[in-house]
Structure 1
Amino acid sequence: MGMKDKFDDMKDKAKDMLGDHPDQAEQGMDKARDMASEKTGGKYDDKLDSAAEKGKDYMGNRGDDH
């Protein structure tokens, strides 16, 4: 099994786990964004907010093939 296969396997496992708990996944994204904002003194808040929203959008579309 090559690195790409291992990565794809981990990605599939993560999707399965997140699919079972979408609310907790979104809360985790918010907490990660808040912690990163605190550590960077708010310097990258616009980028952190964008990344968190993209993650939430992905979770909302997780049934779609992207």
Structure 2
Amino acid sequence: MGFLDSLKAKLGPAKEKVSGLAQQHESKIDQGLDKAAGMVDRKTKGKYSDKIQSSTGKAKNAVGRIAQKDEGGTPPPPPAPPAS
């Protein structure tokens, strides 16, 4: 067994645990992301609002994909690029 195979075998259980936790606490994670984004937006006085919203959306989508893997469903499609 090669190094990468050994590493994958060791990380498998951790990956499943993370997926389960993401599924179980998805709403709390989303709320935390919103709270952090709001704080950063206030600290930067709205200067980077569009980038903060975009990044928050991408983070929420990633959490959703991780949570979906545990359910055995297909992950949601990636978010549409922001309108310029």
- Find the aligned partners of 2:51 and 2:23 in 1 and give their Cα distance: 25
- Find the aligned partners of 1:35 and 1:41 in 2 and give their Cα distance: 10
Of all paired residues, the percent bearing the same amino acid is: 33
1:42 aligns with 2:46: yes
* Greater Rg over alpha carbons, structure: 2
Q: Cα RMSD (Å) of the superposition?
A: 2.5
In the superposition, the TM-score normalised over structure 2's length comes to 0.55
Q: Report how far residue 45 of structure 1 moved.
A: 0.4
SS class of match (1:61): helix
Q: Report how far residue 18 of structure 1 moved.
A: 3.2
Q: Structure 1: which 5+ runs fail to align?
A: none
Q: Report how far residue 44 of structure 1 moved.
A: 0.4
Q: Report how far residue 43 of structure 1 moved.
A: 0.3
Q: Structure 2: which 5+ runs fail to align?
A: 1-6, 70-74, 76-84
Q: Give 1:17-32 correspondences, 5 Å limit.
A: 17-32=21-36
CA deviation vs aligned residue, 1:11-64 (integer Å, no higher than 9, x gap): 95xx35433200000000000000000000000001100010001111111126
- Find the aligned partners of 1:61 and 1:44 in 2 and give their Cα distance: 26
In the superposition, the TM-score normalised over structure 1's length comes to 0.68
- Find the aligned partners of 2:25 and 2:46 in 1 and give their Cα distance: 29
